Amino acid sequence: MSNSTPLTARASASAPAVALRDVRKVYGRGEGTVVALDGVSAALSPGSFTAIMGPSGSGKITFLNVAAGLDRPSSGSVAVGGTGLADLSEQRLTILRRERIGFVFQAFNLLPSLTVAQNIALPLRLAGRRPRRSAVREIAARVGLDKRLHDRPSQLSGGQQQRVAIARALITGPEVVFADEPTGALDTRTGRDVLALLRDVVDKDRHTVVMVTHDPVAASYADRVMLLADGRVAGMLEAPSADQVAERLAHLGG
């Protein structure tokens, strides 16, 4: 799939869901220069769950922002489903993010004046599309909130609010869901429920999930863990246990 392919087109089966090739991201100039990513390459398969981990300052958030098209790399290339991002205008990049990418953040970022149903449907309305009630109800049921569609965020627990945020990320049928510390504001039990839901999104819906986390238990829900240190890939762990992740992080200073 080339850059001339319509942005609404879905990824070909053979293309990685997300691909970074020799990506560098540099902030500042002169003595204030910070190299956040230093030659990072990665290819994440469609329908996979990848956790991004590393010590503070390792480049985790920068990786997520660059991979999701929220920030442009200083050099190197990024592609989502075979569509290269480098040559896209800001408008076309916005369309790609809106139609093919979902986002879940530690702060739930729900609009307090809107109902659960309205919050879930918001990405469609922002895209100028009229959401079908049946589609909103179906995705709400998917996250266990079909009985709370008329409630507002203040009437929900933290875990329920994050479930609304996940439903909002899924309503457009994205190829990739990027999650930034999605359980960071939740207690342990509620966090594990949310992680199980993300795991289910991969296993049943075949979405690709890329999650930044500092929590080894959260990372153990992923298919693999990509470890970053000083802006470089420091290793990969396949189907790791929480203990294995914690041990590797300890060696990295995380």
Fold classified for 18-252: Rossmann fold (3.40.50)
Query: In angstroms, rounded to a whole number, what is the distance separating the alpha carbons of residues 58 and 23?
Result: 14
CA angle 190, 192, 194 (to 5 degrees): 75
Is the pLDDT reported for residue 252 higher than 90?
A: no
Q: Which among 52, 80, 102, 45 is positioned nearest to 211, based on CA atoms?
A: 52
On the question of pLDDT at 42 being above 80, the answer is: yes
For the cut 80, the answer to whether the pLDDT of residue 9 exceeds it is no
Residue-level pLDDT at 53: 96
Q: Would you state the pLDDT for residue 161?
A: 95
Task: Tell me 169's DSSP state.
Answer: H
- For position 208, what pLDDT does the model report? 97
Nearest alpha-carbon partner for 208 in 184, 235, 177, 183: 177
Question: What's the chain's average pLDDT?
Answer: 91
DSSP string, 94-154: HHHHHHHEEEEESS----TTS-HHHHHHHHHHHTT----HHHHHHHHHHTT-TT-TT--GG
Is 172 within 8 Å of 10 (Cβ atoms)?
A: no
- Mean pLDDT over 71-100 rounds to 93
Distance between CA 169 and CA 143 in Å, rounded? 11
Confirm if 54 and 251 have CB atoms less than 8 A apart.
no
CB 22 within 8 A of CB 184: no
Nearest CA to 187 out of 153, 162, 222 is that of: 162
pTM of structure: 0.90
Residue 68 has pLDDT above 50, yes or no: yes
Give residue 143's identity as a one-letter amino acid code: V
